[in-house]
Structure 1
Amino acid sequence: MAMFVHLTAAANAPRIRRAGIRADSRGQGGARGLYCFPVLPSYTLTHQWLRELARFGPKGSLVAVHVRLDDAQEVLTGHYRDRAAGAQQSVSAAEAVRRIGALADPRGWEVFLPRPVGAREVHRIRAVPQVAGWRYVPNAHGTRPCVCFGCAVRGGYGSRRLRERHQDPLDGPLPPVPVLLARIDAAGDPGDPAELKAALHWFGRRRRGPVDRLARLAAHPDPDVREELVWAVGGWSTPGTAELLDGLADDPHPDVREAVAAVRED
């Protein structure tokens, strides 16, 4: 039997003892299951994912759930970067333990079990120190963090101070709304697509915005502008946003319709 560790919120412990672990995560190819990691001789490597999971997971401390799997159980394993490329390999649980244990540096590797775990497969649940593991990426300590919009965590500890000290050339301070609206008006009617998309990029960095002033762009002849409009307002809480997206959901161009579906799924 192969032993793995699954990290989860401490609040889930009573349910896991009673009914096991749900298949709530999405793996390679959209498969449903859960992530875990082999129990290695190194405590730090075994629990390497703890601090990174704590950045995005639920509030409160995490616990380690030790799970026993049959050696022949099929799992997916590989580096987390391989997941997006579909390069993680399907192997047995025993082979996953062997491969990861033989690596000189197994940081960033993961195991995905494509099914839930039954209560009888749970070996034990125990508390773990909340400071184990790496954050952002392995070997991130000592390197300047990226502060671009794609990498920065809004509201994260020290995030504003980092943005002020190390402004990203592409994702610097947000231009004021009146400035952005002036750019859109200056782009003309229906408007230069490049200028409109540049202004909408900055609107997409905001949580609210002037939906009524941007609604006319839903009829722009360039589908790239309409798609950029979807990404700009998709995360807004401003009244009227849902109605604007409803209209764009029936757009004649498939890229626009897919963008609406994507922002609503998130």
Structure 2
Amino acid sequence: MAMFVHLTSAANAPRVRRAGIRAVSYGQGGARGVYCFPVLPSYTLTHQWLRELARFGSRGGLVAVHVRLDDAQDVLVGRYGDRMLDAQASVPAAEAVRRIAALRDPRGWEVFVPRAVRAREVHRIRTAPQVAGWRYAPDAHGTRPCTCFGCRVRGGYGSRRLRERLPHPLDGPPPPVEVLLARIAAEDPGDPVVIRDALYWFGMRRRGPLDRLSRLAGHPDPTVREALVWAVARWSTPGVAALLGGLADDPHPDVREAVAAVREP
């Protein structure tokens, strides 16, 4: 039997003891399952993902759930980045342990079980020190952090001060709302490039002046209407769903495809 460790919030421990670990994580190809890591002789390597996972919040800290899987259980194994490229290898659980244990540097590697973990497969649950492992990426300490929209964690500790100290040439911090609205108002209908640029900055916000941007849903340029979809898609402002509902019937296929894409879970 292959032994793995799964890190989860301490608040989930009673449910894990009672019913196992639910398959709520997504792996390559959209498969649902459970992420874990082999139990290695090195305590630090075994719990290497702890600090990285703790960045995203946990109730009562994180606990280590040790699970025993059948050696023949098919799992996916590879580095974190391989998941994005659908390049993780499908191997038996015992082979996944062997591959990772033989690596000179297994940091950043992971194992994905494409199903839920049953309660009888849970070996034990114990507390784990909250300081083990790396953050952001292996060897990230001492390197200049990236403040682009794709890399930064929204709402993270000190993220606003970091963006102000190390502004990204393309991703901010964004101009004030009134400045962006003035740019759009000056281009009515005007240059679509200027409007799309302003909408790009609006897309980095969590909320926005939807009532002052909704008129762009009738802009004659379809690229502006498409940019409006991407700008407001993740807003929590009331009225976003209604606006996207209207754009779902847009005469241009690119706009309709953008609405369909942002509505996907």
Normalising to structure 1: TM-score of the pair? 0.93
1:97 and 2:116 are equivalent in the alignment: no
1:17-96 alignment to 2 at 5 Å?
17-96=17-96
Distance 1:262 1:135 in 2: 31
Deviations 1:225-246 (A, max 9, x none): 2221112112223232221111
Distance 1:65 1:92 in 2: 20
Distance 2:65 2:253 in 1: 43
SS at match of 2:55: helix
Question: What corresponds to 1:3 in structure 2?
Answer: 3
Question: What corresponds to 2:166 in structure 1?
Answer: 166
Gaps of 5+ in 2: none
1:142–1:24: structure 2 CA closer, same or farther, 3 Å change rule?
same
Q: Is the 8 A contact 2:50 2:132 kept in 1?
A: yes
Distance 1:239 1:24 in 2: 28
Distance 1:254 1:37 in 2: 44
Code of the aligned partner of 2:218? A
Code of the aligned partner of 1:31? A
1:190-201 alignment to 2 at 5 Å?
191-201=190-200
Code of the aligned partner of 2:215? R
Code of the aligned partner of 2:4? F
Deviations 1:121-154 (A, max 9, x none): 1110000001111111111001111112222222
Q: Is the 8 A contact 2:11 2:59 kept in 1?
A: no
Distance 1:40 1:146 in 2: 32
Distance 1:123 1:254 in 2: 52
Distance 1:209 1:26 in 2: 30
1:130–1:253: structure 2 CA closer, same or farther, 3 Å change rule?
farther
1:258–1:39: structure 2 CA closer, same or farther, 3 Å change rule?
farther
1:253–1:98: structure 2 CA closer, same or farther, 3 Å change rule?
farther
Question: What corresponds to 1:212 in structure 2?
Answer: 211
Deviations 1:164-211 (A, max 9, x none): 22121212232122221221122232x322111100011112222221
Deviation at 1:112, TM superposition (A): 0.4
Distance 1:42 1:204 in 2: 43
Distance 2:59 2:169 in 1: 33
Normalising to structure 2: TM-score of the pair? 0.94
Distance 1:177 1:167 in 2: 18
Distance 1:168 1:227 in 2: 24
SS at match of 2:106: coil
1:164-243 alignment to 2 at 5 Å?
164-189=164-189, 191-243=190-242
Distance 2:55 2:128 in 1: 16
Deviations 1:73-117 (A, max 9, x none): 000111110111111110000110011111111111110001111
Distance 1:73 1:222 in 2: 53
Deviation at 1:57, TM superposition (A): 4.2
Code of the aligned partner of 1:125? I
The alignment's C-alpha RMSD in Å is: 1.6
1:255–1:93: structure 2 CA closer, same or farther, 3 Å change rule?
farther
Question: What corresponds to 2:116 in structure 1?
Answer: 116
Gaps of 5+ in 1: none
- Count of aligned residue pairs for this structure pair: 265
Distance 1:91 1:113 in 2: 11
Deviates more, 1:208-217 or 1:65-74: 208-217
1:252–1:33: structure 2 CA closer, same or farther, 3 Å change rule?
farther
1:259 and 2:225 are equivalent in the alignment: no
